[in-house]
Amino acid sequence: MKNNKVLGGGEFLLTKSKALDVFIPEEFDEEQKMIAGMCQDFLEKEVFPNLNRIDSMEPGLMRSLVSKAGELGLMGISIPDEYGGFGQSFVTSMLASDILGAGYSFAVAYSAHTGIGSLPILYYGTEEQKQKYLPKLASGEFAGAYCLTEPNAGSDANSGKTKAVLSEDGKHYILNGQKMWITNGGFADVQTVFAKIDNDKILSAFIVERGFPGVTINPEEKKMGIKGSSTVQIFYNDCMVPVENLLGKRGEGFRIALNILHIGRIKLGANSLGAGRRAILHSVNYANERKQFGNFISNFGAIKYKLSEQVIRQFVSESSVYRTSKYVDETIKMHIAEGMTKPQAYLEALGEYAMEAAILKVLGSENLDYIVDEAVQIHGGMGFSAEMPVDKAYRDSRINRIFEGTNEINRLVATDMFLKMAKKANSEVFGVAKSVYETLDSINGDSTAITDYFEKKYFYVQNLKNAVMLMLGKAYDAIGKQYSTEQEILMNISDMLIQLYSVESTILRVEKLQGIKSELEYPIYKDICDVYVYEAISTFYKSAIDALNSFAEGEEYTKIMNGLRKLTTVECVNLKEARRRIANKLIEDNNYRFW
């Protein structure tokens, strides 16, 4: 562990977290709140009034929005001052991604530009490349894109066929190939393009300008959602790329791609927050206006259930995203203090939290999908009308489970990182798994004797940690070398990890809120915690049993099953009343005001 306050990647599994050591969104400082307000103002003035124009792909409109956001400094949030950027912390950049995540198609253009469109140059570029491109990317004078995917190379990115060959005079790489699903590709001035040099087995990366000879951009794709975002195929036909535009070292492209995807995943977790809050706003506004049977539908229990569940899932995503964001920030600071350059420190920190990034991507996108789906349902027949804003929210949300690696890939990434962590020489994971198995018969899962509220909640958390390590250890013992191919089991274990991390993050936030919220305000957050912990543990148990059914049998199966029952025992909660209290606050405020 790096110090006694900041947990390293995956260390939440082995170490008890403390509420005082985590960051929660109620702790934003005045400068961060000002930046959030600036982002919100931009949406209110430039994006929300023009949604139909954006979705109709009005020529030049999205590009002009990128420029306007750049003039405000929003496109350079993560770019250091010396390159014309805002030079903000990782938490602040996540907050900007959060607020602007409510911007529908603009949120996609913003995220692609500020993330995968700019950061490869920031983290891997030479000083000359940074000086040439970053100031213009930060100002919005240039728009950025990231060109990795090919027709036959999606999740298996390194199988791409795009080739680069050095010209006879040694001054250019001659690029030939095809890229698809390129966000911002229709108007991007600068592209990070991945290709294999000669007969290399591993990708390299290149900075390609739109105006280079041999770059051909196809018409815009027709999509289910995010209709206003530019998505095109790009062809490279004997494209002449100056040798000085090789990004990073030869053969380093696949590493660049993976590291940038870590960033994209964690940022997508933040994007989902802004979109979720806006969908909740539309849900409660409609429920407070629509009457049936002589009553506003917000008075009906079935609607209150939906509204409360939207709030709970939003709150859980927020808790998990900002907890992790601060870990990343503190780790970056630590690496810089140790002598790393800023780019090295960022890459090292984001690579360290690859498991958490994958968890946040899945958690955020799936919680958002639930929120927008129920937003449509709350609107009833009107929700199916393209005239209502929830239509756009529903369609735009669906891509998030595919972006930055599908959720299936991200679940596998999470379990892969878990296994790698377990196999480290100094790891305690397999030792804990063995100890838990040996003591399963004597484990006491009964928490009724624990009277302190948070002590009881952390008792549950520790049981979940023991259960997930038990399942990894026993599954690995049973399957052996075939472990990595048993994707159904890996998915189950990944779901256990997601539930565990989100449960602990929620409890930590609610505990810390004791010192922030008044006695009158505070009980509603305990309601959120009670409902989520109870339900998440039920989901956790099902995932564990589904995995167990796939690899264990006989006496071992019976022993583990009985142990899992004890490790996932949770006291009953009056879910109906807790949910009604949560919904009533949302209904009274007529907006999401839980952060």
What is the pLDDT, as a whole number, of residue 258? 87
Which of 342, 371, 405 terminates a domain? The answer is 405
504, 577: one domain? yes
**Strands of 119-197, DSSP E:** 144-147, 163-166, 172-183, 190-197
382, 435: one domain? no
Q: How far apart are CA 548 and CA 475, in angstroms?
A: 8
**Is there a catalytic annotation at residue 428?**
no
Task: Return the HEC string of 428-495.
Answer: CHHHHHHHHHHCHHHCCCCCCCCCCHHHHHHHHHHHHHHHHHHHHHHHHHHHHHHHHHCHHHHHHHHH
Whether the Cβ atoms of residue 364 and residue 410 lie closer than 8 Å to each other: no
Q: How far apart are CA 509 and CA 319, in angstroms?
A: 6
Question: Would residue 77 count as lying in a domain?
Answer: yes
Question: Would residue 415 count as lying in a domain?
Answer: no
Residue numbers of the chain with a pLDDT score lower than 50: 1
400, 494: one domain? no
Question: Would residue 463 count as lying in a domain?
Answer: yes
540, 572: one domain? yes
The CATH number for 506's domain is: 1.20.140.10
Is residue 139 packed enough to be buried (19+ CB in 10 Å), middle (13-18) or exposed (0-12)?
A: middle
383, 457: one domain? no
502, 366: one domain? no
Specify the number of domains making up the chain: 2
Question: Would residue 24 count as lying in a domain?
Answer: yes
Q: How many CA atoms lie within 13 A of 421 on its CB side?
A: 24
What is the pLDDT, as a whole number, of residue 226? 97
Query: Domain range holding 23?
Result: 1-405
Sequence-separated (6 or more) residues with CB below 8 Å from residue 305: 579, 583
Q: How far apart are CA 588 and CA 427, in angstroms?
A: 49
pLDDT tens string 560-576: 999 999 999 999 999 99
281, 333: one domain? yes
251, 318: one domain? yes
What is the pLDDT, as a whole number, of residue 156? 83
511, 542: one domain? yes
Widest distance between CA atoms in the chain: 81
- What ranges in 101-208 are assigned the alpha helix state H? 105-114, 119-124, 127-139
Whether the Cβ atoms of residue 185 and residue 191 lie closer than 8 Å to each other: yes
Question: Would residue 410 count as lying in a domain?
Answer: no
Question: Would residue 414 count as lying in a domain?
Answer: no
Which of 346, 371, 405 terminates a domain? The answer is 405
Choosing from 150, 356, 374, 404, which is the catalytic residue? 404
364, 438: one domain? no
What is the pLDDT, as a whole number, of residue 289? 97
Q: How far apart are CA 484 and CA 476, in angstroms?
A: 9
What is the pLDDT, as a whole number, of residue 1? 43
473, 391: one domain? no
Question: Would residue 382 count as lying in a domain?
Answer: yes
Question: Would residue 503 count as lying in a domain?
Answer: yes
Q: How far apart are CA 347 and CA 344, in angstroms?
A: 5
Which of 370, 405, 440 terminates a domain? The answer is 405
535, 387: one domain? no
